């Protein structure tokens, strides 16, 4: 049944109790807030002080709680329980709430709300498709144009573990924003300019292995860079040669530029291989080189506006109002006259505002760059204000490091960073062994497909499920485990639901008219959990913290498994069967929506 239709609430005897516009109830917390506010008005509370403060409740107490009476009573120095009682008295006058829930007061003045079983059923029957779930979310960022800057590897080098979180978190954020109605531009701000090129070119011209370049371009380029770097380090004359190569490039020497272009093409092709494997696709690769001739405007405007000043030979920006950046400079031009990443980042901000008309800019990097982006944001705000430009809202989405068992940043046995490609393929290989062990009868081709999805999902989920701002400890056993908060557990739950429908010979779009209200504890717990997705999507988007969604999906899968284990779905009673199929179908729907927002594909069987 579609949103917008009026649901008829029938009593057990089939009499029409009243008409309830269910679309208002999609976001239960929001609806309760508005009802509580109305009640507060009728109770003559000071409505500019009262805030409903609606939370999901511990199931022991109810389905939701309104806590606003406590802070209200504190401000007005009155008795919180009395305030709560006044609110409940008013709410109990309102058929919109009394028809779906029972209210009670507990402790110092918590108002507990417990929905009746019919309400859960009506809710689940009102919202049945991804579009239904997206309808309210898509208003959040409607009309917004967001540039999301993530990935940002250096060219001529292979990506390593240090890049995985940026890719995975960035992609999840893009998908969440799109789900919420934003027009997203995925921009990969690659490091494709600067000092490493002198060393690379020096070695490229002398030690290139053409066959290796054909077979593994990034591997060969990286080898050459390391070689050039080592030679320059050991020998002063070689270092001087490298400098000359760099100068040629910076002066626009045609041969140097041609070589630089070739290296970049090879690099981006190599990068795309892994991005494809991870199902991540960028709209543009506007790297540092793209902005190299745009730094002049930055110098001019920041000096004209008086924001930048000379200090120790460099051009810098101080922020006197800030306790730290009053003294710690934002260096936008080095004392040798060269630009640095502050310069190009400022130029990038300008381009995103002028060219993309961005209303928001999000940059995803590790947390060590926090200071830099705070200074960038402060500087950009002042700059754009003084030049009467619209100011995109900036968010630095940062994340912590991936640690090894020893509590130090993860490294390979040789001490080098682990290559991203190796990491992903090792995950797929490990998944393959597990899948094959569990399903010996399955066709080889299916083993491979499932292993690829499981392996990649497991890596992604390991990056997303811990709070992004903290470091996390990497463990193969944990991320590929089929127990606990992991991708395989969630994929398994989804696959098993599909299996029920296959077994029952029922389509996903079955006729649910016969469904009777939920009765068992497991049914009600699952229904309640499904409804929680609405609030979870809101908090995930507000904070740009995908782990909130992960935690929820894990709980949902758990609630489903508990239900599935205790309540048989395929039973003779048509009413029971229909309502349990509803729970199965909606669980699957929400799992699929949630996982796809995280950039994870689901499987029909595994």
Partner RNA sequence: GCGCGGCUAGCUCAAUUGGAUAGAGCACCUGACUACGGAUCAGGAGGUUGGGGGUUCGACUCCCUCGCCGCGUGCCA
Considering the complex, state which of residue 3 and residue 330 has its C-beta at the smaller distance from RNA: 330
**Distance of closest approach, residue 531 Cβ to RNA, in angstroms:** 13
Among 148, 246, 233, which Cα is nearest to 197's?
246
Among 485, 470, 477, 474, which Cα is nearest to 549's?
485
How many CB atoms within 10 Å of residue 129? 13
Task: Tokens for 190, please give them.
Answer: 């690659």
Helix (H, G, I), strand (E, B) or coil at 484: coil
CA-CA distances (angstroms) from residue 327 to 314, 318, 320, 331, 506? 14, 7, 8, 12, 69
Considering the complex, state which of residue 3 and residue 434 has its C-beta at the smaller distance from RNA: 434
Classify strands 314-317 and 308-311 as parallel, antiparallel or unpaired. Answer: antiparallel
User: What is the C-alpha separation between 310 and 169, in angstroms, rounded?
Assistant: 38
User: What is the C-alpha separation between 229 and 204, in angstroms, rounded?
Assistant: 12
Considering the complex, state which of residue 213 and residue 531 has its C-beta at the smaller distance from RNA: 531
Task: Tokens for 31, please give them.
Answer: 């609806």
Considering the complex, state which of residue 14 and residue 306 has its C-beta at the smaller distance from RNA: 306
Considering the complex, state which of residue 141 and residue 564 has its C-beta at the smaller distance from RNA: 564
Rg of the chain on CA atoms, in Å = 29
User: What is the C-alpha separation between 423 and 404, in angstroms, rounded?
Assistant: 13
Considering the complex, state which of residue 412 and residue 469 has its C-beta at the smaller distance from RNA: 469
Beta strands across the sheet bearing 393-399: 183-187, 145-149, 360-366, 393-399
**Distance of closest approach, residue 110 Cβ to RNA, in angstroms:** 4
Considering the complex, state which of residue 403 and residue 514 has its C-beta at the smaller distance from RNA: 403
Considering the complex, state which of residue 387 and residue 475 has its C-beta at the smaller distance from RNA: 475
User: What is the C-alpha separation between 366 and 360, in angstroms, rounded?
Assistant: 19
User: What's the longest Cα–Cα distance across the chain?
Assistant: 95
**Distance of closest approach, residue 403 Cβ to RNA, in angstroms:** 6
How many CB atoms within 10 Å of residue 38? 16
**Distance of closest approach, residue 545 Cβ to RNA, in angstroms:** 7
Considering the complex, state which of residue 55 and residue 592 has its C-beta at the smaller distance from RNA: 55
If you search the block for the tokens 């144009």, which residue do you land on?
145
**Distance of closest approach, residue 575 Cβ to RNA, in angstroms:** 16
If you search the block for the tokens 């079955």, which residue do you land on?
510
Considering the complex, state which of residue 123 and residue 325 has its C-beta at the smaller distance from RNA: 325
Task: Tokens for 531, please give them.
Answer: 């409804």
Crossing angle for the helix pair 164-179 and 546-566, nearest 10 degrees?
Answer: 80
**Distance of closest approach, residue 604 Cβ to RNA, in angstroms:** 8
**Distance of closest approach, residue 326 Cβ to RNA, in angstroms:** 11
**Distance of closest approach, residue 2 Cβ to RNA, in angstroms:** 27
Considering the complex, state which of residue 425 and residue 482 has its C-beta at the smaller distance from RNA: 482
**Distance of closest approach, residue 592 Cβ to RNA, in angstroms:** 15
User: What is the C-alpha separation between 120 and 113, in angstroms, rounded?
Assistant: 13
**Distance of closest approach, residue 588 Cβ to RNA, in angstroms:** 13
Q: Which residues contact 77 (CB under 8 A, 6 or more apart)?
A: none
Q: Contact 183/145 with Cβ under 8 angstroms? A: yes
**Distance of closest approach, residue 325 Cβ to RNA, in angstroms:** 10
């Amino acid at each position: 049944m579609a949103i917008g239709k009026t649901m008829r609430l029938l009593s057990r005897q089939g009499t029409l109790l009243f008409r309830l516009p269910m679309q208002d109830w999609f976001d239960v917390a929001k609806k309760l807030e508005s009802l509580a506010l109305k009640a507060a008005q009728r109770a003559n509370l000071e409505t500019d002080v009262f805030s409903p403060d609606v939370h999901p409740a511990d199931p022991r107490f109810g389905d939701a709680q309104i806590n606003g009476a406590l802070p209200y009573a504190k401000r007005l120095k009155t008795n919180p329980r009395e305030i709560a009682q006044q609110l409940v008295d008013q709410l109990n006058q309102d058929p919109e709430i009394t028809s779906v829930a029972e209210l009670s007061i507990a402790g110092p003045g918590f108002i507990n709300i417990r929905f009746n079983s019919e309400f859960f059923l009506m809710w689940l029957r009102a919202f049945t498709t991804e579009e239904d779930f997206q309808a309210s979310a898509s208003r959040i960022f409607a009309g917004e144009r967001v540039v999301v800057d993530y990935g940002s590897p250096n060219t001529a080098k292979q990506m390593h573990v240090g890049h995985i979180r940026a890719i995975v978190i960035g992609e999840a954020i893009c998908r969440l924003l799109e789900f919420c109605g934003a027009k997203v531009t995925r921009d990969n701000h690659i490091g494709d300019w600067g000092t490493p090129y002198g060393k690379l070119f020096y070695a490229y011209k002398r030690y290139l292995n053409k066959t290796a370049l054909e077979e593994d371009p990034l591997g060969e380029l990286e080898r050459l860079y390391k070689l050039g770097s080592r030679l320059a380090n050991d020998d002063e004359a070689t270092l001087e040669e490298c400098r000359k190569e760099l100068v040629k490039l910076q002066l626009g020497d045609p041969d140097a530029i041609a070589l630089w272009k070739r290296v970049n093409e090879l690099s981006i092709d190599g990068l795309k291989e892994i991005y494809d494997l991870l199902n991540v696709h960028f709209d543009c690769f506007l790297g540092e080189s793209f902005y190299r001739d745009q730094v002049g405007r930055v110098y001019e405007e920041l000096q004209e506006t008086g924001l930048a000043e000379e200090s120790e030979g460099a051009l810098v920006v101080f922020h006197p109002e800030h306790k730290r950046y009053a003294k710690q400079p934002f260096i936008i031009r080095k004392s040798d006259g060269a630009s640095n990443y502050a310069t190009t980042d400022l130029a990038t901000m300008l381009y995103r505002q002028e060219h993309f008309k961005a209303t928001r800019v999000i940059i995803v990097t590790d947390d060590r760059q926090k200071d830099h982006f705070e200074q960038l944001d402060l500087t950009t705000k002042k700059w754009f204000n003084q030049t009467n430009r619209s100011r995109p809202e900036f968010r630095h989405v940062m994340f912590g490091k991936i640690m090894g068992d020893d509590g130090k940043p993860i490294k390979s046995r040789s001490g080098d960073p682990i290559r991203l490609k190796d990491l992903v393929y090792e995950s797929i290989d490990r998944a393959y062994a597990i899948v094959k062990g569990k399903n010996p009868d399955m066709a080889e081709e299916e083993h491979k497909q499932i292993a690829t999805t499981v392996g990649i999902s497991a890596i992604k989920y390991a990056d997303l499920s811990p709070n992004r701002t903290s470091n996390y400890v990497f463990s193969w056993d944990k991320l590929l485990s089929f127990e606990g908060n992991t991708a395989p557990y969630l994929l398994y739950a989804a696959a098993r639901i599909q299996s029920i429908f296959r077994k029952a010979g029922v389509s996903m779009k079955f006729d649910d008219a016969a469904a009777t209200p939920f009765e068992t504890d497991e049914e009600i717990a699952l229904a309640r959990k499904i409804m929680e997705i609405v609030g979870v999507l809101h908090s995930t988007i507000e904070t740009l913290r995908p782990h909130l969604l992960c935690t929820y999906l894990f709980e949902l899968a758990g609630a489903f498994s508990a239900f599935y284990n205790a309540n048989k779905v395929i039973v003779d009673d048509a009413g029971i069967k229909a309502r349990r199929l509803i729970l199965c179908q909606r669980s699957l729907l929400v799992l699929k929506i949630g996982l796809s927002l995280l950039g994870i594909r689901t499987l029909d069987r595994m």
